[in-house]
Structure 1
Amino acid sequence: MFYHVSMEQCTLRCDHSFFLHLSRSKSISMASRPTTATRRSSASIHPFPNPSSVCIVLGAQWGDEGKGKLVDLLASEADIVCRCQGGNNAGHSVVVEGVEYDFHMLPSGFHLQNCVNIIGNGCVVNLPELVEEIQKNESRGVTNWKERLLISDRAHLVFDFHKLSDGLIERGRGTSSLGTTKKGIGPTYSSKATRNGIRVVDLIGDFSIFTDKLRSLYNYYKLTFPDLDIDIEKTIEQFKGLAEYFRPMIIDTIAYLNQSILDGSKKILVEGANATMLDIDFGTYPYVTSSNCSVGGVCTGLGLAPKYIGDIYGVVKAYTTRVGDGVFPTELKNEIGEHLQTRGREWGVTTGRKRRCGWLDLVLLRYTTMINGFTALCLTKLDTLDELAEIKIATTYKRNGVELPSFPASVDTMHDIEVEYVTFPGWRGRSTSECRTFNSLPHNARLYVQFIEQFLGVPVKWIGVGKDRMAMIRCF
């Protein structure tokens, strides 16, 4: 079912009565955009309003929202950039002066000369592949990184048998595969939960004890996966060299970060990997990742108290994409979906897989906003919509004709839902790619942004209109 937005300007309330109105009305009208003065009361002007607070950037959909671009923008004002969860199954791209940097395990401040980069205790780290990632970025001009990269001694290590078992598990699921990246992330977190995992601190301790633990863990995996064929002695020698390579960078990052906060002079930025709808607890389970990608994962993945958290920025693509399998209520399996995929260059940084594309889903975003408590949003890739005559936004899920009161927990329920949309006139013929202020956007593009803000009750602080780092509108 579709509703059409009228062009008249009148009041739109973001409360329960508005949602009732939305479900009954054939026409939604727009309020005028809040003034800068009004916005200042709801979100700070400076990304680091309190020098001792922690600024967080999180994905609000299924990943690939463009978090890296916002992190790159904010990192120029940060002293420390942190990863708190996940591994090299994530991927961020940053373009600086025509040079594109791809970060998977490395934090997105790695290329900035004055920025310390931390891989936190909640991460799982594949050290051989981390070396390759470092060398790749060195070849693109990154220097002085050894003094700026810190790895938590409590982070868990990913080994080749984790990766191989990941692939075997996925293959065993057959037609029910989850679309894993096969990077060994899930099995490594399983080792952590089973309490036979190996941490970074084990690597730099007594190496004979590390060797015993590694052999024991490999034998454990061999019992479950007899076909695993790893030269464990070669792995031991490899990690002996890696221990010395990374030893100067391995510290107690929990103590380091908390002391940095107490000193009151360090600006700390946290970039979430993956996204809230891939969170192990809150995502579309089982089509999720193996860590907490929401705001709680910041506290547990870095050892930070909630009282230190400042602004929480949610990154939202102007439409919706998803890599791999799993439910996708607004997916477009037609020429519009193909158009979004082509124009938006929708293929994964980590896997190269094409992303599925669909309309923006505000039911989903209302859910992730509730979980994370976003103080402001960054709306990315608005320019991808420039050539569409009409644009739709999902506002309601129904099942058997009854509106669902919240985002469903069961993927079986998700298969049966009916999605209701609001239809907007596009702004075809008016490019957004050169716009650098909100008021310079086409009128219909402004209406689109306003509707998102007022439905969610969260202001849009940035709007991305291109791939370059400067192709970003700051609204307030």
Structure 2
Amino acid sequence: MDIVLGLQWGDEGKGKFIDLISENYDIAARFNGGSNAGHSIERNGKRITLKMIPSGIFMQGVQNVIGTGTVLDPVSFKNEILNLKKFDETLQPENNLIISKKAHFVLPTYRLMDVFMEENPAYTTIGTTKNGIAQAYSNKILRQNVRIGDMYAPDFQERVQHILERDYSFMAGEDMLIPPLEEISKEFFEAVEFLKQFNCTETELLLNKALIEGKTILGEGSQATLLDIDHGTYPYVTSSSTIASGACSGLGISPKKIGEIYGIAKAYCTRVGNGIFPTELFDEMGEEIRIKGNEFGSNTGRPRRTGWLDLPALRYAVMINGITQLVLTKADVLSGLKSVAVCTHYELEDGSVEATAGTLPENARPIFKWLEGWNADFSVIKDPSALPEELMNFLSFLEQEMGVPVTYLSIGPGREEILKMK
């Protein structure tokens, strides 16, 4: 099994890369997260954002799997499937999408609980997408949730209704303005019936059987390394494991089966929501990068915070994931700049210098190295030999600093606008 994951705070362009290489695999399997994720894919001049569905869904002959480590909102899933079919009428996802019975449901009151906690001063506000993902994972850990396989049980509706009434009673007691319980319950159970047309099984058995048969699997991660629940910039993180080892637990595949680990990173940094961001730009340059790079959340539409490339954080992400190949995106966005900055170290309050950041320091001063900028019409570049010398120098510098080769370079938003470097 090979793995693709993000190395920063998400939105690095994983969906595009997975869409590109998934045709080389038999199975594309999503291993974490829920509908809080969003992979944007461009096909035939049109763009679509996939939330739960693996990015291999467009490839004929590729089986797609939503793994055990995910959490699934059936209402959001139903809408995504209907939107996908409208986007491409030839697709039949019910025939090539399999869902783990052990994945957990996101119940409708979980979204409301997210809103309640974000708006209540008694709780830490982290800038969540308010999709109920954290509530699903927390109830999973508390053993208070229901799983996909439970929807076939005769008492499923009764069990879910009990949880909904419990949550609803709590929020009503806090004077929260919420929609009628009957309304959200009806929508949920209708979506569950829609979900039943898909093959739901023990996907860990399916995937391991596929490996024994010599089939190839691409593990798809959502969000990114610096948002990992254990190793990210806590508490401003997501609720699941976003790193390479999370693919093993999220899919039920042994670490011995892992081959290539592709790490996706932008030529600069972005972040959505709250949390530390040492290289963040607050000036016109930050706004220029945001507009030129279309840095607005694919799922939420929120403007992303922008900043220069952060090598200490990137080194950390490369290290804990065991990255074997780097994929660099959005180098074209920086085209035309006279010089480009890269943070190589942090200077801490005590005067010491840190080159690899496990916990990003709150009051650290980024130490920048300025590299010569590049200028090119990337729309006409079809081969690495045509890339500007300054960009090649930037890539060589990055490879030397990371100790990992840059094997792919994205030079535009289109599906084909990516170069294989090695």
SS in 1 for 2:301: coil
**Which of the numbers 259, 272, 292 marks the counterpart of 2:209?**
259
SS at match of 1:415: coil
Q: For 2:353, which of 395, 403, 408 is the aligned residue?
A: 403
Which residue, 291, 300, 304 being the options, matches 1:342?
A: 291
TM-aligned CA distance change 1:442 to 1:71, over 3 Å: same
- The range that moved more, 143-152 or 83-92, is 143-152
Contact kept? 1:378, 1:463, Cα under 8 Å: yes
Partner residue in 1 for 2:99: 151
Residue in 2 that maps onto 1:382: 331
1:206-242 CA distance string (max 9 Å, x none): 2xx2123213322442464334646445555545444
Q: Secondary structure at the match of 1:289?
A: coil
CA contact (8 A) 2:3 2:221 kept: yes
2:380 is the counterpart of 1:434: yes
| Aligned partner (choices 172, 176, 199) of residue 120 of structure 2 | 172
Contact 2:25/2:216 (CA < 8 Å) preserved in 1?
A: yes
Give the whole-Å Cα distance in 1 for the aligned partners of 2:37 and 2:394: 29
Where 2:3 maps in the other structure, the secondary structure is strand
Q: Is the 8 A contact 2:107 2:164 kept in 1?
A: no
- Out of 38, 42, 57, the residue aligned to residue 95 of structure 1 is 42
Q: Confirm or deny: 8 A CA contact 2:108 2:188 kept in the other structure.
A: no
- Corresponding position of 1:186: 134
User: 2:270 and 2:383 mapped to 1: Cα distance?
Assistant: 26
Is 1:204 matched up with 2:152? yes
Equivalent residue in structure 2 for 1:461, among 396, 401, 407: 407
TM-score (norm 2): 0.95
Question: How far apart are 1:98 and its partner, in Å?
Answer: 1.3
- Aligned match of 1:141: 88
Number of equivalences: 416
Q: Which of 139, 160, 173 is the matching residue for 1:214?
A: 160
Q: Helix, strand or coil for the counterpart of 1:321?
A: strand
C-alpha distance 330-175 of structure 1, shift in aligned 2 (>3 A)? farther
Post-superposition shift, 1:270?
A: 1.3
Tell me which of 326, 333, 337 is aligned to 2:275: 326
Give the unaligned 5+ runs of structure 2.
none
Contact in 2 for aligned 1:315/1:379 (Cα 8 Å): yes
Q: 2 CA distance for matches of 1:384 and 1:94?
A: 18
Give the AA of the match of 2:34. G
**CA drift at 1:473:** 0.9
Give the Cα separation in 2 of the matches to 1:360 and 1:65. Answer: 12
- Equivalent in the alignment of 1:283: 232
8 Å Cα contact 1:160-1:230 kept in structure 2: no
Residue 354 of structure 1 corresponds to which residue in structure 2? 303
Pair 1:307-2:256 in alignment: yes
Residue among 191, 199, 203 paired with 1:249: 199
The secondary structure found in structure 2 opposite 1:384 is helix
Match of 1:70 among 13, 17, 20: 17
- What is the Cα-based RMSD across aligned positions, in Å? 1.7
Identify the residue that residue 372 of structure 1 maps to in structure 2. Answer: 321
* Amino-acid identity (%): 39
Output the amino acid matched with 2:247: V
Q: Which of 48, 57, 63 in structure 2 is aligned with 1:116?
A: 63
Shift in alpha-carbon separation, 1:141–1:333, aligned structure 2, 3 A: same
Instruction: Output one character per residue of 1:431-474: Cα deviation in whole Å (capped at 9) or x when no partner.
Output: 33432322211111111111001100000000000011111110
| Contact preservation (8 Å) 1:432, 1:442 | no
Structure label with greater radius of gyration? 1
The 1:471–1:382 alpha-carbon spacing in structure 2 relative to 1, beyond 3 Å, is same
Corresponding residue for residue 126 of structure 1: 73
